[in-house]
Amino acid sequence: MTQEHRKAKKFGMVIDLDKCTGCGSCMVACMAENNVPFRENETDKLKSITWMRVYKLTNGKPYPKEEICYLPRPCMHCEGHKGHSPCVTVCPAIATDYDMDTGIVSQIPTRCFGCRYCMAACPYHARYFNWWDPVWPEGMEKSLSPNVSPRMRGVVEKCTFCFHRYQLALDKAYAEERRELEEHEYQTSCTQACPSDAITFGDLLNKNHAVYKLKKSTNAFRLLEKLGTNPKIYYLSSREWVRRAGDNYRPGEGTGKIKSHH
Amino acid sequence: MKIDRRYFLSLGIGAAAGTALSPLPWKSMDDSSIWSQNWPWTPVPPDGEATYENSTCTLCPGGCGITVRKIDDRVIKIEGRKGHPVNDGGICSLGLSGAQLLYSPTRLNGPMIKVNGSFQKISWDEAISKIAEKLTDLRLQGKSHTVAAITGSPRGTVPNLFKRFLDVYGSPNFLYPSSFEDSYSHLAKKTHGQKALPGFDFENADYILSFGAGIIEGWGSPVRMFRANSNWKSRHIKLVQVEPRLSNTAAKSDKWLPIKPGTEAVLALGIAYVILRESLFDQGFINNRTDEFSAWREGVLETYHPARVAGITGIEQETINTIGREFARAKKPIALCGRGEGRTSEGIGEIAAIQALNALVGSIGIRGGAFAVPEPDYIKWPEFALDETAADGLNQKRIDGAGSNQYPDTDSLLHRLPRAILSGKGEPVNAILIANANPCYTLPDTQTVIKALKKIPFKVSFSTYMDETAALSDLILPNHSYLERYEDVPVTWSLAKSLIGLTIPVVSPQLNTKNTGDVIISIAKAMKGSISDAFPWKNYTDCLKTTLGKYWNPLQNNGYMKISNYNPPEKMTKFVFQVPDKTFPVDPEGDEKVLPLILIPNDSMRLSAGSTGSPPFLMKTVSDTVLKDNDTLVQVNPNTAKKYGLKDGGYALLKTPRGFKKVKIYLSQGIGEGVISFPRGLGHTAYDKYLADKGVNFNELIGPVEDPASGLDVAWGIRASLTKV
């Protein structure tokens, strides 16, 4: 196995919500990179496929005390306990798997037979079902990338941390007789596109990667940590009410303490 | 055996039960679903050689550098270009959707002419000679001045080719949509003695006071502003946002001042009052570099006491004092304006009031301050001779009154064109050329615009897409997409140093289109005589190469270049205070008694409100609190809703003096009582099913309100009512 030569990685993200402006670039960068289909009416957000979705949070106070915070939500690539991510454990087809070498939760559409157990199991609504075959307007199929297969009707899809980019970067490194990648060689499409530099991507175990330090900030939190999903997306916010929206704390409990680190 | 009814039925039921118990239906259902999953309509994108090419984005005036990822000759993705001075790798959602625009089925394939209400294909030669004939005809009748042209912007070689064509042909009617830049340019004439564009050194500023500028909603060069904003966050630099609505910029600011709409400039003068009263201004700058200070000071101290300003603006007196002190004590503060994206003009009085704050603290023409940047002047074409007809035509009055005695410093008042046509006074417009603009969607009071344009007997569109204006035209000469052509992109928007970008043809033309620059040169050549003589170039590429001269090679290799390291000449670092008159706040149109609410637009990075329609990817990012099915949602404060019996998600009739639309209600605490809002960029009637007939076009509900000083349309909102239906 080629992986024997490399140390195991845990790829993850730190998203600075103070910098995120909710502009939607990450969403479109993801769609364009991963051949995400679109339909005539995309206003039913339960059926609109967006591997990366930007949620709008508000503090619920009346005008003019209202505050808004945007929260980009890719797949959390949960590690759970020793790789027992909520979705992976329920998949009867091994169409989704936790990769111990990269920490990436894979999704193999051709194995998926559409039972949608994983969607029910995912607490982050990060998975989407193809209710219809994807149809591109005449001529627009030309814009599809050969690096990611378009999915057929009846299967589940989700964010893969642009795994094909990892493979391409590795291929290139191998060709140059290298075994390890530099931090900048493997970056997801959303990270690259973000005009505000709000997203940082890298190996959470590598001390030289920016994410390693950022995740230790006292402003860091993860979503629904109390469920034990052990997600690999960290968020930073200087605002207490935003950190609380991560839903990890008992009333009166202080925020800013990540319970278990990678 | 007797086959009776009972026997027949039991046989049928038995057969059905038997089949259901057998594996046959389940197996065939399973097989057919697997079989139909494999029908060949799920495309398999062909693989090939992957390459990257650099170019410049033209989808908004921002001028970002892009890197186009290609597989063989297909564009598959557009990314932000690393190291580019404007965006350094970042990119917005519209720029990212560029491949969908290139391969859009709404693109126009070949020239078309309207015959009996429907379009028919014609050849390029026929199309060009049709225009040449028509225009020659009008010229021979001495009606050259009844021809007009609208371009998306006045800058760059293509708009200038149109201008040159009109000049030598004999028409003064070169029009373009005005923006915040035009208002600023107008003010610069007064404060610097010459027209100039607004530039801001945001990267080095340390306190930002924004009067409604949508810093992260598309203002200026959007990605550059996003980067500046992130930079402020890292450096803990304070951003104060003055805006009636909790926009994204307001939400991300350190202090949001929820102001009564339209009163921003009053607040600016209230803040100036505090700085004057407490002598916090930059004495050196005031003494050495400004004029009219004492008269202005008197005017401000007389009228804009914070107590009075608090009453007008709804911002507490104590807050005004604090902001005034903070602003004056910061080392490199910047005050800026231009509501939302800044694609609409602002009153000269308003800009003068806000710019005066920069002058008070000496933030003009220095690092970390505001700059007056001269218009790019790289286009130096040979003089041309005017024949008698042209000279006569050029001497005629412009149809929009720009440049007249009333508005000598205004170049274009496009919003006046529809009324000028419909009023029937003066000469009618007999022909119009429209390039890189979609006035039938973007101009205020859109229905009137459409009515007026319909009256013009010969309308020529140069659009790349079948947009609203192209659909209305008599002749369409489609332009290449920006990924298929060479064109210079002068980037002026808010940069402290102007820059030229170049679009590079990264793919060969996908359809039967022609660069608009080439078409104009061909039309001129077909018209012979002095007109042909004024266009000495072989084709557009030749024109571009000659124009750019020594810049051509670096531009082609590099994709962009800074014209020079701009060191402002002395007059650009001075300021002449403009004694505030009573021209603001400009009242919104409508009768308060009948229309008790105020409707304001909002801009969003997730919708393209300009001449490019939103591609499908962009529409996918639009929130369901903005568009639900085909309905626009109007943002309403719950207290307003209660007063008028409106429910969240319920339908209502939205009325303004310009029209009415059925909308849905979206209750939100992000907007004050009595104010309602929805975004620009919806309600297209042209384009495809992913965009057309979705929501309401804001421009249909608002009309122009003119600034007395410049004549520019400075409407920031309109009176409205909501009635439950």
More confident: B585 or B289: B289
Structural tokens at position A174: 């191998």
Model confidence pLDDT, tens digit, residues B442-475: 999 999 999 999 999 999 999 999 999 999 999 9
Pick from A129, A132, A136: nearest CA to B615: A136
Is the pLDDT reported for residue A147 higher than 60?
yes
In the 3-class helix/strand/coil scheme, how is chain A assigned residue by residue?
Answer: CHHHHCCCCCEEEEEECCCCCCCCHHHHHHHHHCCCCCCCCCCCCCCCCCCCEEEEEECCCCCCCCCEEEEEECCCCCCCCCCCCHHHHHCCCCCEEECCCCCCEEECCCCCCCCCHHHHHCCCCCCEECCCCCCCCCCHHHHCCCCCCCCCCCCEECCCCCHHHHHHHHHHHHHCCCCCCCHHHCCCHHHHHCCCCCEEEEECCCCCCHHHHHCCCCCEECCCHHHCCCCCEEEECCCHHHHHHCCCCCCCCCCCCCCCCC
Q: What is the pLDDT of residue A256?
A: 66
Cross-chain residue pair B619–A31, CB shorter than 8 Å = no
Query: What's the CA gap between A169 and B176, in Å, rounded?
Result: 47
Q: Which of B66, B97, B219, B226 to mutate to test the interface with A (most CBs of A within 10 A)?
A: B226
Model confidence pLDDT, tens digit, residues B379-392: 999 999 999 999 99
Is the pLDDT reported for residue A99 higher than 70?
yes
User: Is B83 an 8 Å CB contact of chain A?
Assistant: no
Q: Which secondary-structure segment (H or E) carries B200? A: strand B197-200
Assigned fold of A2-81+99-105+159-245: Alpha-Beta Plaits (3.30.70)
Percent of chain A with pLDDT over 90: 86
Q: Which secondary-structure segment (H or E) carries B429? A: none
Residue B30 burial (CB count, 10 A): 12
DSSP label of B648: T
Q: For domain B202-368, give its CATH number from 3.10.150.10, 3.30.450.20, 3.40.228.10, 3.40.50.2000.
A: 3.40.228.10
User: Which residues have a Cβ under 8 Å from the Cβ of A87 and sit 6 or more positions away?
Assistant: A78, A96, A105, A118, A121, A122, A127
Query: What's the CA gap between B513 and B581, in Å, rounded?
Result: 51
Q: What band does B644 get if pLDDT is binned at 50, 70 and 90?
A: very high
A228 min Cα distance to partner chain B (Å): 30
Query: What's the CA gap between B518 and B523, in Å, rounded?
Result: 9
B11 min Cα distance to partner chain A (Å): 36
- Strand-pairing partners, residue A202, are A12
User: Is A130 an 8 Å CB contact of chain B?
Assistant: no
Q: Which secondary-structure segment (H or E) carries B679? A: strand B675-679
Pick from B546, B701, B169, B60: nearest CA to B389: B169
Interface of A with B in 53-82 (CB under 8 A): 54, 56, 58, 60-70
Is the pLDDT reported for residue A230 higher than 70?
yes
B204 min Cα distance to partner chain A (Å): 17
Cross-chain residue pair B91–A29, CB shorter than 8 Å = yes
Residue B82 burial (CB count, 10 A): 14
Q: What DSSP line would sit under B412-423, residue for residue?
A: --GGGHHHHHHH
Query: What's the CA gap between A102 and A170, in Å, rounded?
Result: 12
Cross-chain residue pair B246–A143, CB shorter than 8 Å = no
Nearest to A195 among B77, B226, B637 (CB): B226
Q: What is the pLDDT of residue B563?
A: 67
The distance between the two most distant Cα atoms of chain A, rounded to a whole number of Å, is 60
Calculate mean pLDDT across residues B513-527. 98
Is the pLDDT reported for residue A257 higher than 60?
yes
Please give the radius of gyration of chain B, using alpha carbons only, rounded to the nearest integer.
29
B80 min Cα distance to partner chain A (Å): 7
* Whether the Cβ atoms of residue B387 and residue B509 lie closer than 8 Å to each other: no
Is the pLDDT reported for residue B199 higher than 80?
yes
Q: What band does B23 get if pLDDT is binned at 50, 70 and 90?
A: confident
Q: What band does A262 get if pLDDT is binned at 50, 70 and 90?
A: low
Cross-chain residue pair B606–A152, CB shorter than 8 Å = no
Structural tokens at position B675: 């104010």
Nearest to B690 among A19, A40, A193 (CB): A40
A75 min Cα distance to partner chain B (Å): 17
CB pairs under 8 A between A and B: 196
Is the pLDDT reported for residue A260 higher than 60?
no
Tokens 């990648």 locate to A181
Cross-chain residue pair B76–A135, CB shorter than 8 Å = no
Cross-chain residue pair B42–A25, CB shorter than 8 Å = no
B53 min Cα distance to partner chain A (Å): 15
Least reliable range by pLDDT among A35-44, B427-436, B581-590, B597-606? B581-590
Helix (H/G/I), strand (E/B), else coil: B13:
helix
Query: What's the CA gap between B83 and B106, in Å, rounded?
Result: 33
Write phi, then psi, for B313 (nearest 5 degrees). Answer: -95, -20
Query: What's the CA gap between A108 and A96, in Å, rounded?
Result: 6
More confident: A215 or A256: A215
Interface of A with B in 94-123 (CB under 8 A): none
Q: What is the pLDDT of residue A1?
A: 43
Average pLDDT over all residues of chain B: 94
Query: What's the CA gap between B484 and B241, in Å, rounded?
Result: 40
Query: What's the CA gap between B334 and B201, in Å, rounded?
Result: 9
Q: Which of A23, A151, A155 to mutate to test the interface with B (most CBs of B within 10 A)?
A: A23
Helix (H/G/I), strand (E/B), else coil: B9:
helix
Helix (H/G/I), strand (E/B), else coil: B693:
coil
How far apart, in Å, are the Cα atoms of B244 and each of B212, B584, B677, B678, B680? Answer: 8, 17, 10, 13, 17
Structural tokens at position B608: 């393209």
Give B-chain residues touching A137 at CB under 8 angstroms: 104-105, 616, 688, 690
Residue B147 burial (CB count, 10 A): 24
The residue ranges of every structural domain in chain A are 2-81+99-105+159-245
Query: What's the CA gap between B180 and B346, in Å, rounded?
Result: 6
Nearest to B90 among A60, A142, A195 (CB): A195
Model confidence pLDDT, tens digit, residues B166-191: 999 999 999 999 999 999 999 999 99
Nearest to A32 among B37, B99, B606 (CB): B99
Cross-chain residue pair A138–B227, CB shorter than 8 Å = no
Q: What is the pLDDT of residue A5?
A: 58
Cross-chain residue pair B619–A19, CB shorter than 8 Å = no
Angle A222-B623-B244 (CA atoms, 0-180°, nearest 5)?
Answer: 95
Cross-chain residue pair A32–B44, CB shorter than 8 Å = no
User: Is B40 an 8 Å CB contact of chain A?
Assistant: no
Strand order in the sheet with B50-56: B50-56, B65-71, B74-80
ipTM score for this prediction: 0.94
Query: What's the CA gap between B177 and B415, in Å, rounded?
Result: 8
* Whether the Cβ atoms of residue A67 and residue A58 lie closer than 8 Å to each other: yes
The residue ranges of every structural domain in chain B are 5-37, 202-368, 597-724
- Strand-pairing partners, residue B333, are B207
More confident: B309 or B427: B309
User: Is A43 an 8 Å CB contact of chain B?
Assistant: yes
DSSP label of B95: H
Helix (H/G/I), strand (E/B), else coil: B517:
helix
Where is mean pLDDT largest: A30-34, A135-139, B39-43, B58-62?
Answer: A30-34
B597-724 placed in CATH 2.40.50.140: no
Interface of B with A in 146-165 (CB under 8 A): none
Q: Is the peptide bond before A92 cis (omega within 30 degrees of 0)?
A: no
DSSP label of B260: P
Q: Which amino acid is at B274?
A: V
Query: What's the CA gap between B486 and B56, in Å, rounded?
Result: 10
Q: What band does B2 get if pLDDT is binned at 50, 70 and 90?
A: confident
Q: What is the pLDDT of residue B565?
A: 60
Helix (H/G/I), strand (E/B), else coil: B558:
helix
Cross-chain residue pair A196–B90, CB shorter than 8 Å = yes
Q: What band does A250 get if pLDDT is binned at 50, 70 and 90?
A: confident
Model confidence pLDDT, tens digit, residues B224-268: 999 999 999 999 999 999 999 999 999 999 999 999 999 999 999
User: Is B617 an 8 Å CB contact of chain A?
Assistant: yes
User: Is B88 an 8 Å CB contact of chain A?
Assistant: no
Nearest to A195 among B91, B625, B628 (CB): B91
Give A-chain residues touching B465 at CB under 8 angstroms: none
Least reliable range by pLDDT among A172-176, B267-271, B340-344? B340-344
Structural tokens at position A79: 């590690």
Tokens 């693109």 locate to B107
Cross-chain residue pair B74–A143, CB shorter than 8 Å = yes
Angle B379-B383-B387 (CA atoms, 0-180°, nearest 5)?
Answer: 135
Percent of chain B with pLDDT over 70: 99
* Whether the Cβ atoms of residue B563 and residue B378 lie closer than 8 Å to each other: yes
Is the pLDDT reported for residue B195 higher than 80?
yes
Pick from B531, B619, B545: nearest CA to B164: B531
Query: What's the CA gap between A187 and A201, in Å, rounded?
Result: 6
